[in-house]
A and B are shown apart, each in its own frame.
Chain A
Amino acid sequence: MSARRFLPATVVGLILLFLALPIVVVGVVSFSSATYLTFPPPAFGLNWYAAYFGSADWLRPTWLSIWVAACVVVLSTFLGTLASLGIARLPRPLRVMATGLILSPLIVPVIVVAIGVYYSFSRYGLIGTPIAMVLAHTCLAVPFVVTSVSASLAGIDPRLEQAALGLGATPGGTFWQVTLPLIRPGVLVGALFAFITSFDELVVSLFLSGSGAITLPRRMWDDLRFQIEPTIAAVSTLTIVLTAALLFGAHLLRKRVELNRTATSSAAAP
């Protein structure tokens, strides 16, 4: 490798190391036997995983987070997919406004959303309930569903739907038998991102969880305020592994979207 190529490759490698290192270090620390935070660990053990899986104080928030995220997935995927089907066909000024509203949680600072829902939900006694969390997280998750489903809808050859209608299928039949199978990977990718969004969400949860609905990120936050013991490293590692698994699933689904696209375009070609 010549010096001219080696130098940029090293720079890129170092920056990628900067990106990856913190995640790797958390993973290593989680297997530490030390009772305090130190790196490198003096010896390795599974103490912190045992501490996590043995504590109802950790498992209860974990189940609540999974439960909330599952409800968010159902609600946001249903509403988001439905909206994606209609949004491209709206007349222009309405389409721009609807898209703006639906995608705005991506850019509105989350603290503004958090205190807004806290302010309004508290009037209806919703603070400290899982329902409040599901309702608010769904707003934050919906943009990921809409962008993902819209992208796979844009990739569908419109002649396939026209052909189905021309051959006598009802609009409903066309949707279930032609459109939905084609966008299914996009819907699933959106659902996965919706899950991650809710599962990891902290700022809105800080305001809505009260004392009755402690989610996993809120539990971690409370712990970090008082001590930094390696149980958090074990929990973090588990969530990183879960995220990686979901991302890998999304990656495989994306591949299928592309395969579908090439398959339909070659099938539609004369």
Chain B
Amino acid sequence: MPLLLVAPLLIYMLVFYAVPVISMLMRSVNEPTWTLANYAALADDPVFLKTFSITLNTAFIVTLATLLLGYPVALGLARAKTMAPLILIVILLPFWTSVLVRSYAWMVLLGRHGLINEALLAAGLIERPIRLLNTTLATEIAMTHILLPYMILPIANALRQIDPSLERAASGLGATPLKTFVQVILPLSMPGVAAGVLLVFVLSLGFYITPAMVGGPRDITLSMLIAQSVDQLNWAYAATLAAVLLATALALIAAAQRLPGVGNAFKVSMR
């Protein structure tokens, strides 16, 4: 009986999602006969190696930036009482605004006549508008903005689950607020941090729209290279790259699920 309820969705997902994706991925190993040559070729394919390193590098920088910006906000959100709904709105509205609209917003902000250039000109810090849009930095800023909520929400969730009496006990025993934070709060929030880091890193690996819109001409991400190969009808290459991207994302998640507490924190943050 329970299976009968789940079966329609399972069949739907198999027919319109799993089978299409898998049969596309098969193109990487079955041309002209069964072979792993496409994967072996990646090892000395300069285009792939460059793209893959740009993708990983961007993911790394964005993860670091969201962690540094996200932790204080998560702490503020977990501690806030009357302000909490307002903070949550400021986090959730961008979260549910489309990536396209948010990338466009950064085009407006970073453009030649955008807010940032105009502000810098008005402050006399620069004499001519500087090039901000279509740079690597623009991609990193916009992606940090887009992925920040994915860092904040799991960390805030972990912080909220910490028993407040622990903090009182620490300060009662003479710990300074800083010491309480470093020795009590920070270690207990680690499952949330790990979930946030994992989520942001994995999601940044697949970014396509944002780097294409605001990034520099040479910042080709793996997703962009995949789309390009499909446009050139180079299906074997596109499928190979897609398999590498997918395997990287799944391997990271599988590895992180083994860390204590992360599995649960991850599930909560997927909501």
Contact = CB atoms under 8 A, between A and B. Distances in A.
Interface of A: 4, 8-9, 11-12, 15-16, 18-23, 25-26, 29, 36-40, 79-80, 82-83, 85-90, 94, 98, 101-103, 105-113, 115-121, 135-136, 138-139, 142-143, 146-148, 151, 196, 199-200, 202-203, 206-207, 217, 220-221, 224, 228, 232-233, 236, 239-240, 243-244, 246-247
B246 A112 contact: yes
Given A39-B113, A111-B227, A207-B230, 4 more contacts: A37-B107, A83-B5, A83-B6, A111-B226
Interface of B: 1-6, 8-10, 12-14, 16-25, 27, 69-70, 72-73, 75-76, 87, 90-94, 96-102, 104-109, 111, 113-115, 118, 145, 148-149, 177, 202, 205-206, 208-209, 213, 223, 226-227, 230, 235, 238-239, 242, 245-246, 249-250, 253, 270-271
Contacts, number: 240
B105 A18 contact: no
Contacts of B21: 108, 112-113, 116-117
A206 B108 CA distance: 23
B101 A236 contact: yes
Contact of B9 (A11, A89, A142): A142
Contacts of A8: 72, 75-76
A119 B20 contact: yes
B99 A86 contact: no
A77 to B, nearest CB: 11
A22 B102 CA distance: 7
A87 B69 contact: no
- Among A86, A118, A142, residue most surrounded by chain B Cβ atoms (within 10 Å): A86
B150 to A, nearest CB: 11
Chain B binding surface SS class: helix
B113 A86 contact: no
A196 B90 contact: no
Contacts of B102: 22-23
B96 A247 contact: yes
A220 B113 contact: no
Contacts of B13: 101-102, 139, 142
Contacts of B5: 82-83, 85-87
A239 B101 contact: yes
23 contacts: A15-B148, A22-B108, A23-B93, A23-B94, A26-B108, A37-B111, A39-B113, A40-B115, A85-B5, A109-B245, A110-B206, A112-B206, A116-B20, A116-B24, A117-B20, A138-B12, A139-B13, A139-B17, A148-B271, A200-B97, A202-B100, A240-B97, A247-B96
